[in-house]
Each structure stands twice: as C-alpha cells, then as structure tokens.
Structure 1
Amino acid sequence: MGNLADRIEEYLKRILEQTSEGYIILQRSELAGEFDCVPSQINYVLDTRFTVERGYLVESRRGGGGYLRIVRLGLGLEGQYQQIMRQLIGDQLSRGRCNGLVDRLLDEELVTVREAALIRGILAGEALRGEFRDWDELRARLMKAILTTLSRDDLL
C-alpha cells in the first residue's frame, strides 16, 4: 500500500474527513508509534503534504505535552482559504507552491484534470524562459487572476 509517507497522509486525511470540527489534535509520538516510525517522519509528511497551498494549517507544539493540530481550511466564497491564499501568494509564487495550490483545486473538484493541466502548463514558465526576469512574480499575478475568475464563477 504505497510508502510510509503515503500511508500516514491517507490516515490523517481519513481522520479529518470523519471529524465534524474541521480539525484534529494528535500526539506526534503516538502517531509515530502507530506507524512504527520516528517523529521526524511524521514531520516530513506534515511539511510536504499538509501545507497551506494544499488547504491545511498545521499547529505544532513539541515537548512532553506537545501536540499536532491539523486544520482543514474551507473553500467557501468567504472561506479562510481564499484569504490565506491571497496573503500567501503575495508578490511571488514558486512553481512548487503553485502546483500545491492546483492540486488542492483538483482535490476539491473545483477544476477538472484537464483544467489543472492547463493551469500547470501555463504557470510552469517553460514558454517564457529567458524572456521574463521574474517568473515567480508573474506566476503570482496569474494565479491571483485565476482564483479571482473562479470566485466570480461561484466555484470557490
């Protein structure tokens, strides 16, 4: 069933789907024990798969009474997600962060696989290589325009 990171991700997403609160609170050490791994492997999954771009906020407190709180951000028209995304995108958006956002739009079925591929292709920057100095800035502007367009169409 895939690698350890995939299994941990699936487990956390399944628990999040089952909760009505929209968040879960876990002990990092207990989760590591359940998967027979070190806590740093849990951190890796959280750092790479539960990012703001993908629609999650992760609060973490280390130590004896430490915990993990994973919050699934809403996608409603006035949802936290849009506010956070607009702040997060800022003036620059890397290709990796952009792909994370597109993955979230796809996961939420707000865009089709084909639309996601188009967005990724356009924002990858291959066509403009060498002609534009600050691709991350242009990518941020284009992604904001895409999100605004989706919002106008009542998709977000």
Structure 2
Amino acid sequence: MGISDLIASFLQESLEEAENGVLEVQRSDLAQRFNCVPSQINYVMSTRFSPERGYIVESRRGGNGYIRITRVQMDHQTLLMHVINSLGDEVDLASVRAILSNLVQSGTLEENMGRALLAAVGDKALAAVPRDKRDHVRAAILKQVLILQVQ
C-alpha cells in the first residue's frame, strides 16, 4: 500500500468517526505523521476527496493552516454543475482522466460516455490543435459535453 493510500485510509476512517461528518486536520500534522511533504497531502485531497467523490475540501495555508473535509450527498445534476463550474479555461489530460473516472465511479456518467469523452479530448483527437492550445480546447469540449448531460 502506497503512502497516498495510507493517508486516504487514515482520513476516511477519521471522517467516519467524526460526529457531524466534518473532519478538520492540520496539513503539517498529517505530513509529519506520514513522514511526507505537504504536497503529498494536497495530492491525496485533490484525487481522493474531490466533489465528484462526494466531498467538499476547504483549505487554509500558513502556520495555522488546516484542511476541512466534509462528506456531502449531491444529486447527479448538482455534481455535474459543480464540476462544470470548477473547470477553468484550461484542463490537462491527466485531470480530465481523474474527473471522468470520478464521475463514472459516482454513477453520474455512464462508463461508455466517460470513455467516449476521454477519446474526444485526448491528444490523438486533438492532434491538429497546437500543443499550447490543447488544454484550452480540451476544457471547452469537456464543459460543453457535461452541460448537455445536465439537461
């Protein structure tokens, strides 16, 4: 089991024990506990505790910085709108993979739609687009297709 899995398991167990479904932890305490850099904690937060997986993560950096994880239940429409609104003007292929994987795992997107969308925004499909513009085009396509899924 890798360090990310250990951190995620610890946080999941702690969240289950939390009274009101809210867990607040110090990033530096977690990094020290697992003998890792704080960016490893950030990685776990973004990949394992994302809105697509039913979590809201609030973070404050600095000396008294904290991470607050809240487990929420969202219907598929709300989740899709949250993902659409959180996408910036650009998104890299690795992020698209994670977003689509999470949406499929949550049952928000059918698996075949997730695979088709990944193919549509992949580097092979965007080969005619200059590399420095691909992430921008990728984000635009992803947003438009997800908007169609909301209706």
Question: What is the TM-score normalised by the length of structure 2?
Answer: 0.70
| Structure 1 residues 65-121: Cα deviation after superposition (integer angstroms, max 9, x where no partner) | 443212456543663x55543343233222122222112202312224443222222
User: Could you tell me whether the CA contact under 8 Å between 2:52 and 2:103 is conserved in 1?
Assistant: no
Amino acid aligned to 1:58: E
Q: What SS does the aligned partner of 1:126 have?
A: coil
Cα RMSD (Å): 3.2
User: Could you tell me whether the CA contact under 8 Å between 1:51 and 1:58 is conserved in 2?
Assistant: no
1:67, 1:109 → 2: CA distance?
31
Aligned to 1:136: 135
In the TM superposition, 1:1-156 aligns within 5 A as 2-16=1-15, 21-32=20-31, 34-35=33-34, 37-38=35-36, 40=38, 41-46=40-45, 49-50=48-49, 56-63=56-63, 65-72=64-71, 75-76=74-75, 79=78, 81-129=79-127, 131-133=128-130, 134-152=133-151
Identity of aligned residues (%): 27
Question: Which blocks of at least 5 consecutive residues in structure 2 are unaligned?
Answer: none
Amino acid aligned to 1:95: L
User: Could you tell me whether the CA contact under 8 Å between 1:61 and 1:67 is conserved in 2?
Assistant: yes
Q: What SS does the aligned partner of 2:23 have?
A: strand
Number of positions where the alignment pairs a residue of Structure 1 with one of Structure 2: 147
User: Could you tell me whether the CA contact under 8 Å between 2:7 and 2:41 is conserved in 1?
Assistant: yes
1:22, 1:10 → 2: CA distance?
16
Change (3 A) 1:72 1:95: farther
1:6: how far off? Answer: 1.2
Q: What SS does the aligned partner of 2:125 have?
A: helix
User: Could you tell me whether the CA contact under 8 Å between 1:102 and 1:116 is conserved in 2?
Assistant: yes
